[in-house]
Structures are given as C-alpha cells and as structure tokens.
Structure 1
C-alpha cells in the first residue's frame, strides 16, 4: 500500500503525518519555562555569553519544549544572591561562582576555586571524574540545590592596584575587592577584603572606596575599565588557578525534570564550559596587549608575597578543616587529585609549554 493511501485509510491525514514526523521528545515531553538568574552583567560577553548559549542549546535540543529565560545580575536578585534565589525557589536555576557564598560555609569555595588550588584542566577533571561533583552535590543538598559544570575562566589575574605592591608590608591596610577564602588569606596579611559584584567594582575603585580589585583577566577587565582608575596590574591570581562556574538548580525542580531534560541541561552546560574557555583563550592575549599599549603597568607578585600568601593559606586550611568536616573531606579529595595531576603535568605539559613560550612560532 502506498503511504498516501495508508494515511487516507487510517484517517491520519496531513496533520497526523506531521505529528508522526515530529521528534519523539516534542510529542511526549512537557512544556516547561524556567527562569535563570546569573551573577554577571550583560556587558561581559564571556560570562553572560555562556549563560545565553546554555539556555539557547537547551531550547534547541528540546524543540523549544523546555525554555530557559536568563536574567543578568540585578534584574531579579543582586549578583551575589543567586544561591538564595535558587534555594528558595524564586528561580529554578542560576549561573554563578560558588565561592561567593563562602560566608555561609567555606566549603562553597571548592565549587569555583580555592587559593593555590588546581589549574583549569585539573579543577574540572576533579569535578567531573575525581569525585568532586559527588562530594559537592552532597554538600549542596543541604541548601536544596544541585550543580553541574557550566564554565571556566582559566587562570585569572592578581588584580588592579592604585599603587605598587612590592612587599608584604605594602598589603597592610589595603582595601581590596576580593572575596571568599582568598579574602580571608589576604586578611591575615593586613588586607581589608571587600566582596562586591562585578558591576559595583569600577565605581568603588574610582571613588577610592577600595584601593585594589581582582576580577577575571584582561578581556573582561578591559571591558569594565579598571585600567582607567588603577594603573598597576598584577599576576598571577593565585586564588583562582582554574575557577569553575557552576549552574545551580533547585533540587526539587531538578528531580522533577524528565531524564531527557536533565541530560539536555548538562550537555548544554558542557558546551558553555568549552565555549567559555575557548573565548577567554581567544580574547585575553590581544586584550592584554591593548592594555599595555594604553599605559597599564604589568607586575608579578614578588616571591616574598607569594610565599607569605601560601603560608597563610595552608594555616587557614588546617584551621578550617579542624572544625568543618565537609571542608576537610572535599579538601583532601581535591588535594589528592591535584598532586597526582601535577606530577604528570610537569613531565609533558610543563616541559612542552615552557619550550613553546621561549620559542614563539611565526
């Protein structure tokens, strides 16, 4: 029997044929509209761009049955209140840096980065395959959220300073935008840490409310104009060797999702993660050259400052682990994975990268 005759006999007709041809997910899955609140302003096309890409891909993968509307920091809640909004169900999900919520529990820092922690690749490898995600989601469960990977900036810069910082004594009394665990470390060296959302940093630096600020790296920092109000640019950002950005999802909402939608969300997060890393690798080199051409003064933190920061970090780790079982458990897992990883990296990766950096091609 010809297909046309079959459709006539069965009474399906043209409309029915279209239904048969439609993807199975479009026929059987529910229509959902979620809201996502992010910690980032729309002016940052890397961080915000990752959010937009993730939402777009979820819609495409589900034939727009599952739609996610994204909101920048401040549109629904301030950028540093994403966790609270997801936890209490104001929104279904968020895109943020977990260490913003360090004040609730220091264990939150591991969801993004901790001082002298793993680099970009090792950090996400630990999260994905080294037990990090399971440990963190077990911890996040107490806040009614779960997580999946949705971005990484790569190693960040040490920040912008209104004056040169040459010795540990130069840090004393310095008011610096730096939050989370790193802020506590710097506090031990005399810094007065301030936690500000991205959009609030420039006016505070311009008015002298703060003396220094760290954000991400050349591409984003230049967009926010920090070079106009603080001439000294330091590296490396030892507190963010490879900071992950996570999608946090309300646990009840996550558990109610069909498995196909859960998979679509996670895969979209992975795509946003890969895109963001590539975007920073593309954008940071020319942005740094532009900053230097405009008069920015590039400095490395001195060895005494680096060693003092490392010492203070280890002391704070030991003190925190002694009183916080969750922190201790995650720290031990991350450190074990990182140590093994760097033993391998110094064999091939470091050797190759060092050679290539000394011998540029073209």
Structure 2
C-alpha cells in the first residue's frame, strides 16, 4: 500500500488517533518518522544501547528516509506497555524482551528465553535455519506484529542475594525479582517473585522491597550499582542462558515500508543482534574482576539447588502445552536444541575445555 492509503487506513492515521494522545507518524517530502518505544530505562547498559543501535542504524542505512524517534521506558508508555502500544498502532515499533508479555501468549517465551534453554548461537540456529522465524511470524502475526532478533545479553548471572543460597529451602519466602518463566520456577520453590522493569530494580533492592534480583551480568550489573547494596553474587543462572531482545514492528507499519526499507530494518536488527552480544561478552570479565576487588563474593549454586531448578523448570515449561502454538513452538525449539547440542558437545565444548587446559586460561 502507498503512504497515502496507509495514512487513511492505519490505526495512527484513522479513528484510533483520536482515542490516544500519542502522536501519529510524521511524513514530509517522502520521509517518515517512526516512533520506537522500549522496555528499557534510558541509559541502561547494553540493553538501551541495543535499542539506540537499531534506531540510529535504521536512520543511517535508509539515508534518513526513515527516522526512528526512540522513547525510553516511561517517556511515552511504560516498560510493560510497549507490546500493547505497538500492537494497537499507537507506536510503530518497540525494542524489548518478550518474556515480560507472557500474559499475552506463553509461546513468547521461546522468542525471549525459557529456563535451561538455548544459548545465543543455538537460538540463531533455530531462528534462521530450523523453523523459528516462521513460527515467530505466525505467533506475532496474531497480535499484528512483526519481530526480529535485535540483541542478546549472553548467559545471565544467577543474581544478587541478601543471604547465601545453600539449599532449595532457602528460597522459601524470599522476595526476589525475576521475570518470565524463570520467575515461575522460583515461585515453585517458594519465593515471592516480583516482575519489575529494569529501571526500578536498584531502588527496590536498596529499600528492601526485594531481597534479591537477577539483572544481566557483571558489566550491566556493575553499571546498575547492585554491589553497593549486597556483596553476594551468583554468577551462573539457570533462567537465561541467551535471552533474545527483539525489535518488533506494528505489522501495518512493516507492510507499508518499501522492500528496500524492509531490508534495511531487517539487516540493522541482525547486525545489532551480534553486536550487542559481543558488547556484553567483551565487558563482563573485566567488570567481574572489579566487582571482586570491591569485595563482592562470587558464588555458585550447589548441585541440590540446580536439581531443584531443573525439576521446577520442567513443570513450568509443561504447564502451557495445552496451547497448540506453544506446543508446536516447544517441539520445534527442542528438536533444534537437541541437534545443536549434539554437535557442540563433540566439538566446541571439548575444544574450549582442552584449549583452556593446554594454554592455561
């Protein structure tokens, strides 16, 4: 459809515009301004960077034919409102992590993260080469959306705690911030789980409203300042071995773009996906060293706790199997994961273990 008919028929150009205070996309001399909302507070290390990378990249690659106006969480809509805002056409796109929106559909977990799920590379194998992209189009299409992987934090840390975790029973009554299915796992272990936007976590931990939190990993966690509140840090977590950040467009907006503009959006998202993962991985080790130098205790969960995580995770993952799309995504996801792990366990895993032993890393 051309731009004029898009303006007549889209939610922002039609009657929905009168029902919202959000501005419609701007058109001038063949150029468009698209509004991006995000689940991230402005300046949050890594995650906001990924959103900014996409906004700047789309503007640059299209030579200004598309200008992306980035609104961080709370500047236009709240962090947990971006899915609905873009689905309704009140904004053109969002950047965020979709386990915040499992109330919309539980299968969104497969395009963000499931407990004991895929790493960055394993997700890419599935999404780009083993059916994930097609399932994403089906799922997001229900909500009038088009999603692209556009960021990844790599394996996330187990989190910050006010006390040591020596057994599964230590989670009983613990007020802990963890979103998505990971949070549901801790709930089964007796934790009082809270889902807070990233920008609100520091204050909640400092005030005692929560007794622990996961965020991302050493670099982003150091930037957030959690080491100022507690010194107990578990560096390996079960919940997010490779969480995917998505750039998600309103489907009408997507279909109104020219083929060249669509290609630009997709290519920028793909570039951001790898760039962001590298950003986190390049910074985590040095950040961890600084945290340890500041007195942070680097901990590992005991095997009994890992076993409890695993048993509860299987319960959580199975609970939505009565939904046909969820079950289909699960079958495809697990088949791809098994295939990827089968080769990795005989190649990269052995190589890295031997490399580190031989050269003394």
What's the CA shift for 1:357? 3.2
What's the CA shift for 1:353? 1.3
TM-score, normalisation: structure 2: 0.89
Q: Secondary structure at the match of 1:143?
A: coil
Structure 1 unmatched runs, 5+: 1-28
Name 1:156's counterpart in structure 2.
156
TM-score, normalisation: structure 1: 0.89
Equivalent positions of 1:226-265 (< 5 A) are 226-265=226-265
Greater mean alpha carbon deviation, residues 240-249 or residues 54-63: 54-63
Name 1:349's counterpart in structure 2.
348
Equivalent-residue separation in structure 1 for 2:206 and 2:280 (angstroms): 26
2:109 and 2:180 in contact (8 A); partners too: yes
Equivalent-residue separation in structure 1 for 2:296 and 2:261 (angstroms): 46
Equivalent-residue separation in structure 2 for 1:360 and 1:302 (angstroms): 29
Structure 2 unmatched runs, 5+: 1-28
Q: Secondary structure at the match of 2:193?
A: strand
Report Cα offsets for 1:75-126 as digits up to 9, x if no partner: 1111122111111112100000011101222111111110010111001221
What's the CA shift for 1:361? 5.7
User: Which protein is bigger by CA-based radius of gyration?
Assistant: 1
Report Cα offsets for 1:170-226 as digits up to 9, x if no partner: 011111101111111111110111000011001111111111100100110001111
1:51 and 1:95 in contact (8 A); partners too: yes
Report Cα offsets for 1:312-336 as digits up to 9, x if no partner: 1112222321x21111111111000
Name 1:270's counterpart in structure 2.
270
Name 1:330's counterpart in structure 2.
329
Equivalent-residue separation in structure 2 for 1:62 and 1:43 (angstroms): 25
Q: Secondary structure at the match of 2:187?
A: helix
User: Alpha carbon RMSD of aligned pairs, Å?
Assistant: 1.4
2:217 and 2:235 in contact (8 A); partners too: no
1:103 and 1:180 in contact (8 A); partners too: no
What's the CA shift for 1:45? 3.7
What's the CA shift for 1:43? 2.1
Equivalent-residue separation in structure 1 for 2:360 and 2:60 (angstroms): 40
Name 2:93's counterpart in structure 1.
93
Name 1:298's counterpart in structure 2.
298
1:160 and 1:233 in contact (8 A); partners too: yes
Equivalent-residue separation in structure 1 for 2:267 and 2:168 (angstroms): 44
Counting matched residue pairs gives 333
Equivalent-residue separation in structure 1 for 2:355 and 2:171 (angstroms): 35
Structure 1 residues 254 and 305, CA gap change in structure 2 (3 angstroms): same
Name 2:118's counterpart in structure 1.
118
Q: Which runs of 4+ in 1 moved over 4 A?
A: 359-362
2:181 and 2:317 in contact (8 A); partners too: no
What's the CA shift for 1:360? 4.8
